[in-house]
């Protein structure tokens, strides 16, 4: 197993952000927004979107400071995966469960990014693993300003694990 680990380290989780003490992390997310958007912009370049021509990149910040990335991938059968779910599912498949924020960069293929929030399906998937009142969704608008929303602002009255109790 250690042999396999040396091949996957640096490819799946090649980015990491140094975080302050756990209790101060939420307050400091604006300090990481630029870096997360930069990572999402880079990931957007890997998007496979020959049908929609709309490329999206995402950077998911975990509690331990690791960052998982994802891009949208489309198929001719119109089955694909969004960038946000791609990043989330990578992280979950690696055993991560604590998430602080996600940055999303999207727009017409090979064009500057526009304001792009997660779709409803991605918002619902994120709700499964985060506290919607605390989790930050970070985007950059057309003017270049970075904006941050809580997931609950984008998906009020969501249905999540707590509804099953």
Please answer whether residues 94 and 82 qualify as being in contact, where contact means their C-beta atoms are separated by less than 8 angstroms. no
First to last CA, the chain: 37
Please list the residues that pair with 81 across neighbouring strands.
73
CA 53 to chain centre: 20
Cβ count near 67 (within 10 Å): 25
Active-site residue set: 84
DSSP string, 16-67: E-----GGGHHHHHHHHHHHHHHHHHHHHTT-B-TTT-EEEEEEEEETTSEE
Phi, psi of 134 (to 5 degrees): -110, -30
């Amino acid at each position: 197993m250690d042999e396999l680990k040396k091949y996957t380290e640096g490819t799946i989780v090649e980015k990491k952000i140094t975080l302050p003490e756990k209790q101060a992390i939420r307050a400091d997310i604006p300090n990481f927004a630029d870096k997360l958007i930069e990572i999402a912009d880079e990931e957007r370049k890997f998007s496979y979107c020959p049908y929609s021509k709309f490329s999206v990149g995402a950077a998911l910040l975990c509690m331990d400071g690791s960052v998982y990335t994802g891009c949208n991938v489309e198929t001719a059968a119109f089955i694909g995966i969004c960038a946000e779910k791609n990043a989330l599912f990578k992280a979950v498949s690696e055993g991560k469960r604590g998430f602080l924020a996600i940055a999303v960069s999207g727009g017409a293929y090979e064009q500057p990014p526009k304001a792009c929030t997660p779709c409803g399906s991605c918002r619902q998937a994120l709700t499964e693993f985060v506290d919607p009142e605390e989790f930050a969704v970070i985007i950059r608008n057309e003017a270049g300003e970075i904006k941050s929303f809580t997931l609950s602002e984008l998906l009020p009255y969501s249905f999540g694990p707590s509804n099953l109790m």
